[in-house]
Amino acid sequence: MSEEKYKALEVTEEGSGNFELNIVYKSVTEPQDGEVLVRVRYSSLNYKDALSASGNRGVTRQYPHTPGVDAAGIIAVSKSPDWKKGDEVIVTGFDLGMNTNGGFAEYITVPAKWLVRLPAELSLWQSMAFGTAGFTAGLSIMALIRQGLKPENGAVAVTGATGGVGSAAVAMLAKLGYHVMAVSSKAASHDFLLSIGAREVIPRSEVEDQSGKALLKPRFAAAIDTVGGQVLATVIKSLHYGGVVTTCGMVNGGELHTTVFPFILKGVQLIGIDSVATPYEQRAAVWQKLAAEWMPAQLGSLTHEIGLEQLPEAIHTMLNGKMQGRTVVRI
C-alpha cells in the first residue's frame, strides 16, 4: 500500500510569513495499532482551515501541512477491533487538520477513537454539508433544548448568521419551529437568510450596544452566538428572564465586557460550546439528530460544492469575510 500515491492540498512556508498552497502527491502508509486509514470522499471548509492554510501558528504549529478539520469516507484499512474495512465514517474535531494532516486529501490516518459511524439516514455528502459547523450548531441547539427552550418561549437570535455555524443553526431552528432572528452585517444576504428559514433579519449594529447599560430591553428568549465580543455582551443584556445563550466563536473579539446583573437579576445562562473534544456518546447523539428530525430541507441550498483545486480561492474568500453558507469539498 505504501507504493500507492494519493492527492492532497499541502500548505508550505516559503520564507518568513509567506505560505503557499499546492496540490501534491504523497505515499499511502499503513496505520499503526489503534488507527485506521480512511479513503476520504468529502471534506468541508471551515474558518479554522482557512487559518491553518494561511500560517496561523495558533492552529497549526509545523509546516508543510494538509488542513481539513472534517472528513467523511470509507475505511480502507483498520487496525482497530471496533472498525472494519468498508465502514462509512465521519471524522470531525480532535486534532484533525490542526497538527494532524487533515481531510483535504484522498487518505487520512487517524486514531480509531476519533471516528463516528455514519448514520444510516445520512449520506457522506450530507455529513460534510453539516461538517464541524453543522455539528457545532447541533451542539448549541441541544444545549438550548436541554435548558427547556420551546418555540413558544419567543425569538431565538443567531449571530453571524451567514457563516457556516450560523446558517446551519438558522435552518435547523426553523425546521424545529422556532422564530429565528438572524443577525448579520451583510445586507446583501437578507434574502438568503429568509430563504433558509429566518423570520427576521436584523443588522449587527442592533446588537452592538455602546451605551454602557447593564441591562437592555428584553428581546430574545435565547440565542446562538458565533462571533463573541460586544455582540455577545449585548445579546446577554437583551435576553428575557431565564434566557439562555450559547457561544462558540470569537471573530468579533475574544474579550467579554459585561456585568453580573443579567445573571443575578434575570437568571440568564451563558453556555460554552466546544466541538473539538466532545465525548463520543454526545457526538454520536448529535449526528443522529442531524440525520433525522434536525435535518433542514434547505441543506442543499445553503451548501455549494468545490474540488481540491478550487480550495485556495475559497480559502481567500473566507478570510475576506465573503463566504456565505457551507462549502463541501469533493475529494
Answer positive or negative: Cα dihedral of 25, 30, 35, 38. Answer: positive
Backbone φ and ψ for 284, nearest 5 degrees, come out as -65, -40
pLDDT for 128 beyond 90: yes
Beta pairing partners, 108? 38
Express as a percent the part of the chain with pLDDT over 70.
99
On whether the pTM is more than 0.85, the answer is: yes
The helix (H) or strand (E) run that includes residue 53 is helix 47-53
Could you give the residue range(s) of every CATH 3.40.50.720 domain in the chain?
Answer: 132-272
Write out pLDDT tens, residues 24-72. 999 998 999 999 999 999 999 999 999 999 999 999 999 999 999 999 9
Superfamily designation of domain 5-118+301-330: Medium-chain alcohol dehydrogenases, catalytic domain (3.90.180.10)
How confident is the model at residue 1, as a pLDDT?
58
Section 9-26 average pLDDT: 92
- Which amino acid is it at 210? Q
CATH topology of domain 132-272: Rossmann fold (3.40.50)
Distance of CA 194 to the CA centre of its chain: 21
- Kindly report the number of other CB atoms within 10 A of residue 14's CB atom: 9
Among candidate residues 23, 94, 49, 39, the one with its CA nearest the CA of residue 72: 39
Among candidate residues 300, 283, 236, 322, the one with its CA nearest the CA of residue 136: 283
Give me the residue label for grid cell 436584523: 202
How confident is the model at residue 221, as a pLDDT?
98
Could you give the residue range(s) of every CATH 3.90.180.10 domain in the chain?
Answer: 5-118+301-330
pLDDT for 214 beyond 70: yes
pLDDT for 2 beyond 90: no
Cα–Cα distance, 293 to 290 (Å, whole number): 7
Write out pLDDT tens, residues 99-111. 999 999 999 999 9
Q: What is the 3-state secondary structure (H, E, C) of 55-121?
A: CCCCCCCCCCECCCCEEEEEEEEECCCCCCCCCEEEEECCCECCCECCCCECEEEEEHHHEEECCCC
How confident is the model at residue 136, as a pLDDT?
97
How confident is the model at residue 224, as a pLDDT?
98
Considering the chain, what is the average pLDDT of its residues? Answer: 95
Among candidate residues 91, 31, 85, the one with its CA nearest the CA of residue 284: 91
Q: Three cell numbers at 69?
A: 478539520
